[in-house]
């Protein structure tokens, strides 16, 4: 039996081109096979490296924007983000849109939303029932010692600013004040003359939780707190 040779089974090769190699075969299989595909490839290929560079740069900018939007209480404007991050406003706006689109595509539980000319993170409406259950359950959780101490200072010295509460407790109370605000136990009460600092007071919910008609029913603990003069000296 005669075994056919490769010369008999394979088509004649073009002498003007080198013999094929495995890499050439792979390249040929992956190459475009129509004029339209060739045009698309030609349009996309030149920008591949540049696009990779832009993506690497945007990752740093996007991370910075995410970090800032995570801690702001009010929507932050793109102009302010651009000033802080030293980036063009157009690039910041584009990055914000790309982040918002990415969160939407991934189906995250939060969204980056443009509100009143600024951007901020919000929980997605479809997860509102879960957030509501968490908040309601959280209302039943016990306050930490730090929160109780801060609440006592606000109750007996209201209206009072955060800096004055910090002067009494000797520690930063920003996070604790936010917790008390979220629990509905304290509320904003205007601004302080001169400094313009936000003042805080206890809420009606605070009285409801303690079963009191008004603040006159608070226990006599005020004498144990430092005088206003002491707090003024601490601020100075």
CATH of 142-235, one of 3.40.50.2300, 3.30.360.10, 1.10.10.10, 1.20.120.420: 1.10.10.10
Bridge partners (DSSP) listed for residue 76: 119
pTM of the complete model: 0.41
Q: What Cα–Cα distance (Å) separates residue 15 from each residue in 12, 18, 20, 141, 177?
A: 9, 7, 11, 84, 83
CATH 1.10.10.10-classified regions of the chain = 54-125, 142-235
If DSSP codes are grouped into helix, strand and coil, which group holds residue 77? coil
Q: What is the spatial distance between Cα 86 and Cα 66, in angstroms, rounded to a whole number?
A: 15
CATH of 54-125, one of 1.10.10.10, 1.10.357.10, 3.30.470.20, 3.30.530.20: 1.10.10.10
Tens of pLDDT along the chain (236 residues) come to 444 444 444 444 444 444 444 434 434 444 444 444 444 444 444 444 433 333 444 788 899 999 999 888 788 999 999 999 999 999 999 999 999 998 999 889 999 998 888 999 999 989 988 888 877 766 666 788 899 999 999 999 999 999 999 998 889 898 899 989 988 899 999 888 888 889 999 999 888 888 888 888 888 765 555 655 555 555 55
């Amino acid at each position: 039996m005669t075994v056919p040779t490769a010369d008999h089974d394979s088509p004649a090769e073009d002498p003007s081109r080198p013999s094929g190699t495995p890499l050439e075969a792979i390249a040929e299989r992956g190459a475009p096979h129509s004029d339209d595909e060739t045009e698309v490839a030609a349009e996309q290929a030149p920008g591949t490296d540049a696009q990779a560079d832009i993506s690497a740069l945007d990752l740093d900018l996007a991370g910075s924007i995410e970090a800032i939007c995570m801690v702001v209480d009010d929507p932050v404007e793109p102009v302010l983000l651009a000033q802080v991050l030293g980036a063009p406003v157009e690039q910041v706006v584009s990055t914000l849109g790309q982040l918002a689109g990415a969160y939407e595509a991934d189906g995250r539980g939060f969204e980056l939303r443009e509100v009143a000319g600024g951007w901020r993170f919000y929980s997605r409406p479809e997860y509102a029932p879960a957030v509501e259950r968490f908040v309601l359950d959280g209302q039943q959780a016990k306050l930490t010692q730090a929160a109780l101490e801060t609440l006592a200072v606000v109750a007996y010295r209201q209206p009072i600013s955060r800096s004055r509460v910090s002067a009494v407790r000797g520690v930063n109370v920003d996070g604790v004040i936010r917790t008390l605000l979220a629990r509905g136990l304290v509320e904003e009460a205007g601004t302080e003359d001169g400094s313009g600092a936000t003042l805080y007071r206890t809420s009606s919910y605070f009285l409801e939780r303690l079963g009191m008609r008004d603040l006159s029913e608070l226990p006599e603990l005020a004498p144990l707190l430092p005088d206003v003069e002491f707090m003024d000296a601490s601020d100075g």
